[in-house]
Structures are given as C-alpha cells and as structure tokens.
Structure 1
Amino acid sequence: MTEYPDPTDPAAFPLVERGGLEVEGRLVEASNTTLLCRVESDGLAARAVYKPVTGERPLWDFPDGTLAGREVATYLISETAELGRVPPTVLREGPFGEGMVQLWVETADDEPVRVCAPDEVPPGFRVVLRAVDETGDPVVLAHSADPAVAELAVLDVVVNNTDRKGGHLLSGVDGRIYGVDHGVCLHRDPKLRTVLWGWVGEPLPDGVVDKLRKLRWSLDHGLGESLAAHLTVAEREALVRRTDALLAAGVFPTPGDDWHAIPWPLF
C-alpha cells in the first residue's frame, strides 16, 4: 500500500474521487463540520479532508449552492488555469452524505504567513500590516514573496476570496505552497478579504498574465459549463468580469474602501 501520494501525482485525483472513505477524526477548530479521513483505492492510501454539506452552517450572504461546491469550483479554476496550487478536490458521496473531499497536505515547519516583531520578519517577506499586540508591543503581518504565494494572491482576486487567512496557506513537505479552505469564494459582489496584499500596485508577472488569459479562454470553452453545477449565472458572470478587469489593469489590485480587506482572525 503506497501511503500519502504527492498532491501533484496524477493518481491523487482519482484516489480522492473514488477511494473508500473512513473517518478518523474531526478537526474541531473548523467552523463547519470538517472530518479527517483515510481514503484508499487501487493500492494507494492517503489522508483527506471531508466536509459534508449537511454540516454546513447557513450563511446569509451565500444563500445559493453549497460551500462544498464553491471549494470544488475554486479547485477547477486553479487547476484549469494552472494558477496557484489547490490540492485535488472533488464533490462526492461520503459517510455523511455528499460533501467536499480534498487530499490532505502533509506540511513542513516553514510558514508562508507570519505575525512577528518588526525585527523578526524573515528575509524576503513582505509586510502587509503594522499593529500592536495585547501588551502594546509592535507586531507586523507579513507573508512570503515566493512566486507561488503571488499566484495564490491572484487566485484570491479571481475567485473573490472573502476569507484568505494565514492558516489557509500550507507549506507542503514537497516544497510547494498550497491554498485551502475556499468555501466562501466566488460571490457576485466584491468581498475580497485576504492576508496576501504584499504586491499592491505592482505589475502582474508575465507568467501569471498568461495563466489569466488561459482562464479567460477556458471560461468560454468548457470551464463555464463545469462551474454551472456549483455557481449561479450571476456568479459566473462576475467571475468573467473580475478576470477581464485584472487582465486590463495588469497590476495587483488595491484593497477597496467598502469592506474590511483583511480577515479576522488572521489565522
């Protein structure tokens, strides 16, 4: 039995899509029912996160579809455009009914987002916010300048992520950085809240622009139909507008004035 395949391994997606699920425990800090499972199929075994739709708490501003469906939609967008890395994610039946199943990412100690003293910011990190802690000492919110983090920052803009906390970025033992927890994304109205504001106003990298163009083409050639199972017409139209606006601007956007641009808590 091969344990815990690489999330980028082609075998990982069919494993989470069709493998047998056995619940091992519950992640109690999650706001909705989030279960840690073991998934097995064809000689492969891995851990996976399973979020049954029946365990979702209703949100007044996300009345349509399901949070599980929005997680899958974000994965489809990321995977199609090769923009950022989201672990293989599917909507399928599980022990407690239909839900999102996502490959578990084994993590390293390196944290791509940190709150620390100003003189402890790691080299190359970008400072997003300066504040004081409960004792009055100065602290900063900073994140890695790794190109993989920059791509996830762009993905946040595209999917209108309203809850990109620091703990939603994972440094895998494979050296890659993954984004997870995309249940409150893809609203039709602007709601972007993220800790990844370190590139405000800077030009988008050429490679990212190419990926956005690929996404835009895909939305008119198949991806839009795939997203229809999870998003309303208005939400899909808003996704197209955000992609067009980002391509036209060619720069990382500036936070809006109509809502809090950074989620709380930060992690």
Structure 2
Amino acid sequence: MSAPERIPPRSVTAAELLVRGELTVRGRIREASNAALLCTVAHEGREASCVYKPVAGERPLWDFPDGTLAQREVAAYEVSEATGWRLVPPTVLRDGPYGQGMCQLWIDVEPGAELLALVEDGEPGPGWKAIGLAEVDEDRTALLVHADDERLRRLAVLDAVINNADRKGGHLLPAAEGRLYGIDHGVSFHVDDKLRTLLWGWAGELLTPEAVEVLGALRTGLGDGGALAARLAPLLTVAEIAATRERVDALLGTGKHPEPSGQWPAIPWPPV
C-alpha cells in the first residue's frame, strides 16, 4: 500500500480534507491524558494523518466547566489563523467514529531542533532566555532556558491571548521549512487568568511592533460584529469571548509581554 499523500499543513485543502474526509482509526496515542486517536483521513483520492480527540473521551475538569476541550482546541486554531502566524495546525470540529470531536492535522517533527535546554553553571548564553530553576536530581538544580526564537515569541503572544494554562515543552512542534506549531490547547480561554507556560523569557519586555499590529487586528475581529468573534461564538461562551477581548486590550494597553502573577505556579507540571 502506498504511503498517504502529504498535505501541506497551511493549505486550504488540509482543512477541507479534515472536514469532509473519512476517518479511519489507526491507534491510540497513549501519552495523552484524554482519549487521542491517531487516524488517517481520506477524501477524493487524498489522504493524510491526523489526530482525533472525541468529546466522549474527555475527562471532566472542575475548573473548566463550560464547553469542551475539543471546542477550545478549535477556538485556539481560529485565533491563530486570525493572527496570520498560523501557529496551530489545521483543526476542525467534526463527527467521527466515536462521536463529535476535534480533528487536527498530524505534524511530523523535524529532528535536531533545540528549543529548550538546561544550564547548570552560570547564566544563559546568547540566543537563550531564562525560564527558572528546575530540579535535576535530589541535590542538584539547573536553569531551564528556551531559545530566543521569534517563532516562540509569537507563540508566547498567542498563549497570552488565549490564556493557555498548559504550554509544555512537548507541545512545541518544530516542523519542515522552519515552521513551528503549538498543540494541545484544550485548557485555554478561561475567564480568569490561568496563564501557565514555559515561554516566560520575554516577560515584562516590550511587544514587537509586529505583535502590536497583530493584536490590533485581533481586537477588531473580536469587536461587535467582528469576523473572529463570529467564528468563536459556536465554540466559546459569551463571557469567554469577552475575556479574550479584554486580554487583547490589556496587552495593547501595557505594550508588554505579561509577567507571572505570583498567585499560582507559573510553569506547568511536568514542564516537558
């Protein structure tokens, strides 16, 4: 049997394939905390790999009582698309073998990309940003750092907008042609500040002019009658959309990357 034809992650065809294609389950992704199934999706002679997360396989979360993980994953994709940065793989909400769920294009990771590291002596060198101390073993700690990478910086802005409560290292996917994707956005969009991330390296620094321009466009899209607000309406509550708009306003107001609040752990566990 020939290998599935690779569909470019950013093509319109990929999203159409995810919506219209026939899903065939190939196996389970056992590392996931909720049901996540590796599938192929095929339509009109085209085929690609994807991840299907049925709502029926979600564990209830006491602090996210509204909506579903699947809806928030799709909402994160919609916001990502509105930025123009395309940091989230094509993601749709659709019916599948186990009912409605999130379906996201599978991304092949390029080996060798260094986005995170541990520094045991001294400060991070050029090209790295400090996150915080991490326990290496019982008697030893090291400084956890992430790359001073424009792609990560854009993702840090996206996470601040969607209020991502779980940006782990394993959710960063360096891909072909220098692309970087973020995945697993099911615990995002809470009305309360819950930002937990590894990408604190720019905390308190001025936003780039590009980020300010993107945030301005997001604010327009989230306003009354805005296109982004309309796309988010079936996925999030009115209060969640309003809170997203308020977070964009806050970022534009300060002109800076947010800083940890100090009211709860700022880094998710486990961090990777």
> TM-score normalized by structure 1?
0.95
What residue number does 2:260 align with?
255
Q: 1:259, CA displacement in angstroms?
A: 1.4
Contact 2:10–2:86 (CA under 8 A) maintained in structure 1 = no
More displaced, 90-99 or 14-23? Answer: 14-23
- CA–CA separation in structure 2 for the residues paired with 1:33 and 1:229: 23
2:143 aligned with 1:140, yes or no?
yes
Match of 1:24 among 23, 26, 32: 26
Residue of structure 2 aligned with 1:105, choices 101, 104, 107:
107
Poorly superposed stretches of 4+, deviation over 6 Å:
none
Q: Deviations over 1:62-121 (max 9, x none)?
A: 111111000000100110122451000000011111000000001012345424243696
Counterpart of 1:200 in structure 2 is 203
Secondary structure of 2:107's partner?
coil
Residue aligning to 1:245: 250
Amino acid paired to 2:190: H
Indicate yes or no: 2:187 matched with 1:175: no
Could you tell me which runs of 5 or more consecutive residues in structure 1 were left unpaired when the two chains were aligned.
none
Judge conservation of contact 1:117–1:138 (CA < 8 Å) in 2.
no
SS at match of 2:110: coil
Task: Give the residue type in structure 2 aligned to 1:20.
Answer: E
Report the secondary structure of 2:52's partner residue: strand
Q: Is the 8 A contact 1:84 1:149 kept in 2?
A: no
Mapped contact 2:172–2:182 kept (Cα < 8 A): yes
Change (3 A) 1:84 1:257: farther
2:230 corresponds to which of 225, 236, 239: 225
Of 182, 189, 192, which aligns to 2:192?
189
Whole-angstrom distance in 2 between the partners of 1:225 and 1:72: 13
Cα shift readout 1:139-181 (whole Å, capped 9, x = no counterpart):
2221122211101000110000000001111001232110100
Contact preservation (8 Å) 2:121, 2:142: no
Query: Within 2, Cα distance between the matches of 1:140 and 1:227?
Result: 38
The aligned runs of 1:52-67 (5 Å cut-off) are: 52-67=54-69
Give the unaligned 5+ runs of structure 2.
Answer: none
Q: Residue in 1 aligned with 2:51?
A: 49
SS of residue in 2 equivalent to 1:70: helix
What letter corresponds to residue 260 of structure 2 in structure 1?
A: P
How many angstroms apart in 2 are the aligned matches of 1:142 and 1:207? 24
State the aligned residue count. Answer: 267
Aligned-pair CA distance for 1:132: 3.3
- TM-score normalised to structure 2 length: 0.93
**Helix, strand or coil: the match of 2:206?**
coil
Amino acid at match of 2:7: P
Q: Which range moved further: 127-136 or 71-80?
A: 127-136
User: In 2, Cα distance between the equivalents of 1:112 and 1:99?
Assistant: 32
What's the C-alpha RMSD, in Å, of the aligned pairs?
A: 1.7
> Separation in 2 of the partners of 1:38 and 1:264?
31
Shift of 1:123: 5.0
Residue identity opposite 2:11 in structure 1 = D
* Counterparts of 1:187 and 1:45, CA distance in 2: 35
Q: Does 1:152 align with 2:125?
A: no
Question: Which residue type is aligned with residue 236 of structure 2?
Answer: L
- The question of whether the paired residues in 1 share the 8 Å contact of 2:119 and 2:145 is answered with no
- Between the aligned residues of both structures, percent identity stands at 50
